[in-house]
Structure 1
């Protein structure tokens, strides 16, 4: 059974221009992991477009063939590098992983 990995991020920047720039950089870096991290089948990253201040700022939707692949993604050096960057610009984070 495949695993859907969903993550929501709240960005820490207080102005919209910086949040937009950070969201764009996150999208580029995260989606750039497809084809680099083995068994990362697909990834879509999007910026919130409604209810600013109520919703999270960025969502990540990724698909893996199984739980082992998701676990390997977490420790892959390319993902670790991206996660370190994201750690410098994010506040709250919420995630869920489920079978599809």
Structure 2
């Protein structure tokens, strides 16, 4: 079984330059977890390129199972990155699928 973890965020900033900086920091911090947290099988993250009503940033990651996802969630490196993400986002959406 593989868990596909999909998350998207709306950034809190309204200034385009500030939004871009926050997005870049999120990509660097969350993308930097690959190789640090062994439970991550794959991870893709990036800002939306279309705009409009779309959310600002999306992450798609794969884990072996729900237990691996749970270990990722509480890993100190993820908790640290998550604190930054929470500080710059207004909304979060997530869904976890068995694929």
**TMscore range, shorter length:** over 0.9
Structure 1 residues 15-94: aligned runs within 5 Å: 15-52=15-52, 54-94=53-93
Task: After the TM superposition, list the runs of 4 or more consecutive aligned residues in structure 1 that deviate by more than 2 angstroms.
Answer: none
CA offset at residue 38 of structure 1? 1.8
CA offset at residue 46 of structure 1? 1.0
Q: For residue 59 of structure 2, give the secondary structure of its aligned residue in structure 1.
A: strand
| TM superposition score normalised by structure 2 | 0.97
CA offset at residue 18 of structure 1? 0.8
Structure 2: gaps of 5 or more residues: none
Aligned residues: 99
Structure 1: gaps of 5 or more residues: none
- What whole-Å deviation, never above 9, does each CA across 1:60-80 have from its counterpart, x for those lacking one? 010101110000001000000
Root-mean-square deviation over aligned CA pairs: 0.7
Partners of 1:34 and 1:87 lie apart in 2 by 20
